[in-house]
Chain A
């Protein structure tokens, strides 16, 4: 694992592809969770890799893990994408396309996208600091020290933000919780 990034830093053939294949799913998931419903997650994930490849020389193993470094890049790229998206929304160019409520017989993919939308809208109601902690700890299941290292904050701060984030997230998701549960049960 460590060799791959060293080879990538050295510009070894195939290393770029290997790095992309290994992390593309993870980065896409981070972007979906941090980026909110307005972003095109795949495009933003591509941007993350573009920045990561450009900055690969700056990765320093003594200062953190490969994953932590990539998360740092993702955070900044997502923050920029959100800023651009907010601008478009500010002047009314971007609106959320209406999504039909899933009913009996709805396509499974549509249902999945509907569930994602509900969760993303709930996550949008958290400020970015709480959202990052909730995503890393509760959705990505990193430990508190890992989360603290990835965000550059103290472990105590992680716990405190997590506490508030969970409360806010629960309150935001509560109105659609019954529908979500029904949808999951229907799907299974």
Chain B
């Protein structure tokens, strides 16, 4: 809420009132300072004569946020952790209409028809096909891969395979795509990849030999999103909301109208609203970046250390360490920055390594560690990577000859 300007004006102290309570102002000196730091006529004329700065025509404002949103949604789509337990209700009939379902973390199935889940969990999974055709995919490496499929009197037992079970008009059929299944009931035997069995002629079992396929190692069955289930729609909506909220933050980071303090508040709100989300690490890293601009070094550096400890495998580790070293160095604390530059020089690659070696050398030089300085500066030059400190490094190295 903003007050009308006349209220603000009425409540704002005048310069005289301010001077009365704050005698620190020296009008005379301020006038001199004002005059001394005003541009000269020549400078103003020069500015006016300068050609207008050229800038590329930028893309429409919505392109970048929308692109980022699309990338974020795609990333979430691919990396969202798979649910570890199915929500399919036990002992109730479920109609399959082509959608994918998970039964525990290791069994995925889809089909057309009706099924009933009779058991689910680490002790085994049992699915009864009441009607229709169901395609099963079982992860052979999973802990919860034991599956029994019942179709009429037929029992199909598997441990990691891909196969179809049909139960149409009271007759069962099994079709194996990959791996091996054990069938019992009207007919007992096993089927391997490429073979099928049908109950239509139980006395005259027909084993159809398909092309023999080599056994395939299934490392992980890729999940395909269920776009029909209402539960997943909610999840998807949450993902999109999360991605949009994060994208808004990224957008704000680029916006010169947004003050860092407001930005920090928004990032903290995002972290409060989504404490368990997959983007906590990213948002925390953003917070550190903003904090580094407005908070004193002694507050930010421990936060960076805590972040790197909390997320030891974070891909941002090196960039945050570089931020840490830069903050310390800019605070004239080369002694604090040097160990971090050593880590960066040893773990970094390319441009980052070159920068780290250069700064390591310059900091060591400032601290009087000439041997380390010479070695680091020489390394920075031999890395054969163009970087903005190259000229400075050469000069520093020459000065030590």
Contact = CB atoms under 8 A, between A and B. Distances in A.
Interface of A: 11, 16-17, 20-21, 24-25, 28-29, 32-33, 41-42, 45-47, 49-51, 53-55, 57-60, 63-64, 69, 72-73, 76, 83, 86-88, 90-93, 109, 112-113, 115-116, 118-120, 122-123, 138-139, 143-145, 151-153, 159, 162-163, 166-167, 169-170, 173, 177, 180-181, 184
B257 A33 contact: no
Main secondary structure of the interface of A (DSSP, over half): helix
A109 B47 contact: no
Given A21-B48, A57-B58, A166 B256 contact: no
A24 B52 CA distance: 10
Interface of B: 8, 12-13, 18, 22, 24-26, 28-30, 32-40, 42-44, 46-48, 50, 52-58, 61, 254-257, 259-262, 329-330, 362, 389, 391-392, 395-396
23 contacts: A16-B52, A28-B47, A29-B37, A32-B37, A32-B38, A41-B43, A47-B53, A58-B254, A58-B257, A60-B257, A69-B257, A90-B362, A109-B40, A109-B42, A112-B40, A116-B36, A119-B37, A123-B33, A138-B25, A151-B259, A162-B22, A170-B24, A180-B29
Contact of B36 (A20, A90, A115): A115
B47 A25 contact: yes
A42 to B, nearest CB: 6
Contacts of B391: 93
B58 A24 contact: no
B37 A163 contact: no
A144 B395 contact: no
Given A25-B39, A29-B38, A93 B12 contact: no
Contacts of B22: 159, 162-163, 166
Nearest to B396: A91
Contacts of B54: 50
Contacts of B25: 138, 166
A184 to B, nearest CB: 6
Contacts of A162: 22, 24
B43 A28 contact: yes
B39 A139 contact: no
A45 B43 CA distance: 11
A122 B55 CA distance: 35
A59 B257 contact: yes
B262 A170 contact: no
B37 A120 contact: yes
Lowest 7 CB-CB distances: which A-B pairs, in order? A152-B259, A166-B24, A50-B53, A115-B36, A119-B36, A53-B55, A91-B392
B35 to A, nearest CB: 7
A78 to B, nearest CB: 13
Name which of B22, B42, B395 has the most chain A CB atoms within 10 A of its CB: B22
A28 B30 CA distance: 19
Given A42-B43, A50-B53, A144-B12, 12 more contacts: A11-B57, A28-B43, A32-B38, A45-B47, A57-B58, A58-B254, A58-B257, A60-B257, A109-B42, A119-B36, A143-B12, A177-B32
A119 B33 contact: yes
Contacts of B43: 28, 41-42
A36 B32 CA distance: 16
B35 A184 contact: yes
Contacts of B42: 109
Given A115-B32, A118-B36, A28 B44 contact: yes
Given A29-B39, A57-B61, A180-B32, A83 B330 contact: yes
A180 B36 contact: yes
Name which of B22, B37, B52 has the most chain A CB atoms within 10 A of its CB: B37
Contacts of B392: 87-88, 91, 93
B330 A86 contact: yes
A170 B29 contact: yes
Contact of A24 (B18, B30, B48, B254): B48
Contacts of A24: 44, 47-48
A57 B62 CA distance: 11
A115 B35 contact: yes
A167 B37 contact: no
Given A91-B396, A144-B12, A177-B29, A50 B39 contact: no
A31 to B, nearest CB: 9
Name which of A11, A24, A47, A123 has the most chain B CB atoms within 10 A of its CB: A24
A63 to B, nearest CB: 5
B256 A73 contact: yes
Contact of A54 (B12, B39, B47, B55): B55
A139 B34 contact: yes
Contact of B395 (A63, A93, A138, A159): A93
